Amino acid sequence: MKFNMWLSVGLLMFIVANSNQALADRTILNVSYDPTRELYQAFNQEFIRYWQDKTGEKIAIRQSHGGSSKQARAIIDGVPADVATLALAYDIDAISERSGLIPAGWQQRLPNNSSPYTSTIVLLVRAGNPKKIKDWDDLIKPGIAVMTPNPKTSGGARWNYLAAWGFALKKYNGDESEARHFLARLYKNAPILDSGARGSAINFIQRGIGDVLISWENEAFLALKEYGPEKFEIIIPSISILTEPPVTVIDKNTDKHGTQDIAQAYLEYLYSKKGQEIVARHFYRPSDAETAREYAHQFPEINLFTINDVADSWQQAQQIHFSDGGLFDKIYEYQ
């Protein structure tokens, strides 16, 4: 039977992390979002070697994964994260505003607004594309079961929603009432809203639920790598959104833990040549121009828009679409 990577890797990371932690001088905790498990498993091993070679100190790194908003809430509520590597800037802004653990200007402390890699949203379908899905407007057709997580808990789900919103605005020449109707029909076709992106991927890929998965690009390529083109195909939509997952040190926690130096170096190493190669090998788009050129062959060309093309800021997008009583609630209330 084929090795089931996604169900086994979490247990493997738990065993390795706990074994390493017992031997470590210091430990840091990276609280991250759903689809980064494999990325940070590889990156952590490399950074542990780098840090020991540089300083002689043995360290351990623990990982925590879940829906991005749930992870942000966990940090606010006291999970002792040393770093946060989440799906979108709004979730880290929420940590800053509601807990005071990091300064308001956190996003200016690292290059590219503290986003060491980017991604986008694509469509994953079953081999042969039996429902003939080619673009976003196929997702609103009767009889199409769409897998996507819940925008109230998942950062990836909010990117999915805004990718579809941006398509609808373009299709209907900026008519927001038509775009709202488009999103209502799309979510009417969504039988399950999981709390995180990985949960939706497992439902679609392993449990065979649904006809199409609205997916992080890296998650779709991971599925294709694991299961092969005889199981799945990636559909590149006519337009999608540039996703910019940010990272930050959680300052007050690292001050308390005495880990500020490790946490800062950990995030800076994401921007190094080695860090960017690990990012690219896990199908995230590297921010370093040279590495991006080296790995350009593995990424399809996509017509991308940004969050600022559909909202003034993440704060505005959150307020209009995802806050309690916002457009998503109104759309989903009448399903």
DSSP state of 106: G
Distance (Å, rounded) from C-alpha 25 to C-alpha 58? 6
**Are 43 and 75 spatial neighbours (Cβ–Cβ below 8 Å)?**
no
Q: What residues have CB less than 8 Å from 200, skipping those under 6 apart?
A: 147, 148, 149, 157, 192, 194, 213, 214, 215
Six-digit token string for 230: 């005889």
Distance (Å, rounded) from C-alpha 193 to C-alpha 29? 28
Amino acid at 263: A
**E strand map for the chain:** 26-33, 59-66, 83-85, 117-126, 146-147, 212-216, 232-235, 240-243, 247-249, 285-286, 304-305
Q: For the chain, what is the largest distance between any 2 Cα atoms, rounded to a whole number of angstroms?
A: 61
Encode the chain (335 residues) as per-residue pLDDT tens digits: 233 544 444 444 444 455 456 678 999 999 999 999 999 999 999 999 999 999 999 999 999 999 999 999 999 999 999 999 999 999 999 999 999 999 999 999 999 999 999 999 999 999 999 999 999 999 999 999 999 999 999 999 999 999 999 999 999 999 999 999 999 999 999 999 999 999 999 999 999 999 999 999 999 999 999 999 999 999 999 999 999 999 999 999 999 999 999 999 999 999 999 999 999 999 999 999 999 999 999 999 999 999 999 999 999 999 999 999 999 999 887 55
Q: What residues have CB less than 8 Å from 186, skipping those under 6 apart?
A: 136, 139, 140, 146, 164
241 — phi, psi (to 5°)? Answer: -110, 140
pLDDT reported for residue 140: 98
pLDDT reported for residue 7: 46
Residue environment code for 202-226, b if the CB has 16+ CB neighbours within 10 A, otherwise e: bbbbeeeebbbbbbbbbbbbbbbee
Amino acid at 76: I
pTM above 0.85, yes or no: yes
80 — phi, psi (to 5°)? Answer: -80, 60
**Are 128 and 211 spatial neighbours (Cβ–Cβ below 8 Å)?**
no
Q: What residues have CB less than 8 Å from 66, skipping those under 6 apart?
A: 33, 34, 74, 195, 196
Q: What residues have CB less than 8 Å from 196, skipping those under 6 apart?
A: 33, 34, 65, 66, 67, 68, 70, 149, 153, 154, 156
pLDDT reported for residue 20: 56
**Are 148 and 160 spatial neighbours (Cβ–Cβ below 8 Å)?**
yes
Distance (Å, rounded) from C-alpha 160 to C-alpha 121? 6
- Cα distances from 104 to residues 90, 95, 183, 315, 316, in angstroms, run 12, 10, 33, 13, 17
**E strand map for 36-82:** 59-66
Q: What residues have CB less than 8 Å from 301, skipping those under 6 apart?
A: none
List, in order of start, the domains of the chain with CATH numbers.
Answer: 3-115+244-271 (3.40.190.10), 119-243+303-333 (3.40.190.10)
pLDDT reported for residue 71: 96
CB burial of residue 324 (10 Å; 0-12, 13-18, 19+):
exposed
pLDDT reported for residue 203: 96
| Residue count of the chain | 335
Distance (Å, rounded) from C-alpha 143 to C-alpha 139? 9
| Pick from 182, 191, 144: nearest CA to 163 | 182
